[in-house]
Amino acid sequence: MKYGLISDIHANLEALTSVLSDLEKQRVDSIHCLGDVIGYGADPEACLKLIQQTCDTKLLGNHEYAALGLQSVEQFNEAAKAAAEWTQQTLNEDAVAIMADFDLDRALDDMYLVHASPFEPNRWHYVFAAEDAIRGFGQMKQDLGFFGHSHIPMILRERPDTLPHVRAGHTFAADPEGRYLINVGSVGQPRDNDPRACYVVYESDERDIEFHRVEYDIAAAQRKMSKASLPETLISRLSAGI
């Protein structure tokens, strides 16, 4: 089976449509979205509808959680808070109903899918470093965990009696004996100094994990954000991928 894994779209319709057409070329069997479809960008509703139509798995991210009123935005930074408030005012009942159907996590074949960490999925812990991954591996029953949240493509491999091994996201064949946590990067707001949209294809027979980067119309996404008066820092970061 060939699975497409996408995360952190952040209401960037230009990035999402480019990734979905690239996924079509990859001939994946199914697409799985790991959360944060909304927040930051200008097209939350269109992105939610497209995710609902195209994805088998639809997970909650912290931005959906906040928009559903399940947590406050007080711990968001200023720009994120302003964007979250704009998003909440923009979303209509249909969009809210789509998000209300999203799951917190999902076990699927040999995969575990979650937005942030397998440890306390609704507390949105970041997994950046080896230390962060230990609790995640401890909580996960499967050998392969796919997640997002930090917008940094990354591979963390569990090791016996020592800290997990951390590498930047790159295409590789997973060791059949190995256990991994894989950050699939961000479709709509990459933060690894590469502004292209990022996603992953997992082929389960060979256990091949491929990271893909896709060019999209960044200027068009930025124009819409300016028109919606979204914070300038969120607009400019798209060109730099930071």
Binding residues (CB under 5 A) for Zn ion: these are 8, 36
Q: How far is the CB of 26 from Zn ion (least distance, A)?
A: 23
Q: How far is the CB of 115 from Zn ion (least distance, A)?
A: 8
Decide: helix, strand or coil at residue 96: helix
- Residue 9 or 50 having the CB closest to Zn ion: 9
Q: How far is the CB of 36 from Zn ion (least distance, A)?
A: 4
Phi then psi dihedrals of residue 146, to 5 deg = -110, 135
- Residue 14 or 36 having the CB closest to Zn ion: 36
- Residue 8 or 64 having the CB closest to Zn ion: 8
- Residue 80 or 98 having the CB closest to Zn ion: 80
Q: How many angstroms separate the CA atoms of 46 and 1, rounded? A: 29
What Å distances lie between residue 52 and 100, 139, 181, 197, CA to CA? 12, 28, 25, 20
Q: How far is the CB of 7 from Zn ion (least distance, A)?
A: 7
Decide: helix, strand or coil at residue 241: coil
**Short-list 119, 113, 147, CA closest to 8:** 147
Q: Which residue is nearest to Zn ion (CB)?
A: 36
